[in-house]
Amino acid sequence: MREKVCVREVGPRDGIQMVNTILPTEQKVAWCRAAVAAGVCNIEVTSFVPPKVVPQFVDAEDVARRAIEIDGLRASALVPNLKGAERAFALGVPLVNYVLSASEAHNLANVRRSTDESMADFARIAEARDALEGPRIALGAGIATSFGCTISGAVSEDRVVQLAEQYAQAGADEIIVADTVGYADPAQVRRLMARVVSAVGKLPVLCHFHDTRGLGLANVVAALEAGVRAFDASLAGLGGCPFAPGATGNINTEDTVYMLEQMGFDTGIDVAALLALRAEVESWLPGERFSGAIARAGLPKTYSARLDTAA
């Protein structure tokens, strides 16, 4: 029995947030369907930001409604505030993700309020969730710039742990620790994630790494050691960094799955099927950077035989 690790696809949200092409709803849903057919059980399918802010997500309701109906998929959606959360709640999105920033300066720049004010907003979202009837909706609670900030530099590890605890007390069902700007290194990841995992007790903890400086998969290895068993990733590494023009985005789904499977973990995901999906999505997004090593080099001869390699 191999140990399970969850790889959540965030391509349809983080991956396409900054691309030049507005994907038709039909393609977004087709992407989700094909990913599920490849074994992906968790997808962040859209963002309930105001359409004026990110035109890519003008069809958030349509995408979410159709994604929820896909068999075998636990769809999630990002919400920036209570208003966004109410839109997601109205549709019954099973997992609603919120995010604030551990860096005060980054939080101020992003949403013009302090991190504490953003935490108070989360508490209001959790109250609204608790008041809902019907099946319980889970809340994912994200901490951006957990490993450093392009504005203020270093971020206090104590502060990240404190925010995770506050989230847990306020009603979060999952904690998402994000390296929004690609500053994390494996020693820091191992240290901080061990503290977060320990602080929030039984709540699942997920890491959201960007590969901006090439350490994405090294950071996954460090997080695994700290007990993390869930990761966000984006097909083809889509999702550039606004703070590092030309840099790569989220860690690459195909490469992450390849590494985890080769290490002996069970992701339930078929890399070859992901590569076929990648080729299709690439045809939809002309001019975007599609990164990834497995797409270039192919799977090794030992891949299917991995269970036999320990001598």
Residues forming the active site: 241
257 close to 267: Cβ distance less than 8 angstroms: yes
Cβ neighbours of 120 (radius 10 Å): 15
- In whole angstroms, the minimum distance from the beta carbon of 184 to a copy of itself comes to 9
Distance between CA 197 and CA 3 in Å, rounded?
18
Q: Is 297 exposed, middle or buried (0-12, 13-18, 19+ CB in 10 A)?
A: exposed
Asked if 101 contacts 148 with a C-beta cutoff of 8 angstroms, the reply is: no
Residue 21 CA to residue 40 CA, distance in Å, equals 24
| CB closer to a copy of itself out of 65 and 195 | 195
The minimum distance between CB 293 and a copy of itself, in angstroms, equals 3
Of 255, 257, 274, 288, the one binding a copy of itself (CB under 8 A) is: 255
Among residues 145, 166, 172, which one has the least CA distance to residue 156? 145
Residues 19-78 close enough to bind a copy of itself by CB under 8 A: none
Instruction: Choose the stretch contacting a copy of itself; rule: CB under 8 A; options: 91-99, 105-113, 126-134, 242-250.
Output: 242-250
Residue 295 CB, nearest approach to a copy of itself (Å): 10
Q: How many helices (H) and strands (E) does the chain have?
A: 11, 8
By CB under 8 A, tell whether 1 contacts a copy of itself.
no
Which residues inside 154-213 make contact with a copy of itself, applying CB under 8 A? 154, 156-159, 181-183, 185-188, 191, 211-213
Residues 210-229 that bind a copy of itself (CB under 8 A): 211-215, 217-218, 220-222, 225
- As measured in angstroms, the least distance from the Cβ of 300 to a copy of itself is 4
Cβ-defined contacts of 288-293 (< 8 Å, 24+): 288/19, 288/20, 288/21, 288/238, 289/237, 289/238, 289/240, 289/248, 290/236, 290/237, 290/238, 291/211, 291/236, 291/237, 291/248, 291/252, 292/236, 292/237, 292/252, 292/254, 292/255, 293/252, 293/255
Nearest to 46 by CA among 18, 75, 73: 75
The least CB distance from residue 307 to a copy of itself, in Å, is 10
Minimum Å gap between C-beta 298 and a copy of itself is: 7
> Is the Cβ of residue 71 or residue 308 nearer to a copy of itself in the bound state?
308
302 is a site residue for a copy of itself (CB under 8 A):
yes
Residue 292 lies near a copy of itself (rule: CB under 8 A): yes
Number of chain positions touching a copy of itself (CB under 8 A): 54
Please give the residue ranges that form the binding site for a copy of itself (CB under 8 A): 148-150, 153-154, 156-159, 181-183, 185-188, 191, 211-215, 217-218, 220-222, 225, 241, 244, 246-248, 252, 255, 258-259, 262-264, 292-294, 296-298, 300-302, 305, 308-311
